[in-house]
Structure 1
Amino acid sequence: MAKQTGFWSIEDRLEEFSAVGDPLETLNRTVEIERFRPILERAVGRPRGIKDGRPAMAVVLKFRMLVLQSLHGLSLEATEKMVRDRLS
């Protein structure tokens, strides 16, 4: 069965990002982000328990977002828009 492509096909969207120089791919190639995990987890403190409400966002993911935000001079709103676009 052939794959049906649509206007919002995720594969097509990711290929478009790669073609224009996806900043996430560049960051992943040049910086070993996981190396910062122990430092980030110590800085955040104790892990949140179930009673504390919604689970916290992964610290490495937050750090990656902050690095991209600072490298590209993005506002918080612009960063949020890019993250939502990436998720959609």
Structure 2
Amino acid sequence: MVRPPLDAVMMFKILVLQALYGLSDEQAEYQVRDRLPFMRFLGLGLSDRVPDRTTVWLFREALVTAGAMEGLFARFDTALKERGDLTLPPVPPDPTLYRHRRGTTARSCRVCSTPTPSTAGC
């Protein structure tokens, strides 16, 4: 049985959360499961499926490959400015470059040489 695809708007909202909070894909998955405000922002209920880190990574890669990542963030930032809300950093960070080992602090985080979900040792 094939799962239905996840909503593209919800997936983009996860990228927004990552940009705002500096979250890696793994951290984003955990925080969405853990924080009710994040779930509400994404339109998820307690029993809804939360995208895993690989799904987030694949979505980001699809946007980058299509050349749509910066354009989407620019349009989102423009919409925020027009409403008078906070704005995002000028370039969306790539949280896949930073992987944290469990039980470590951000200071001991290292940059992975290959930003993939299967990067060993990160």
Aligning the two structures, in what range does the TM-score lie when normalised by the shorter sequence?
0.3 to 0.5
Higher share in helix: 1
TM-score (normalizing by structure 1): 0.37
Identify which of structures 1 and 2 has the higher relative contact order when contacts are C-alpha pairs closer than 8 Å and 6+ apart. 2
TM-score (normalizing by structure 2): 0.27
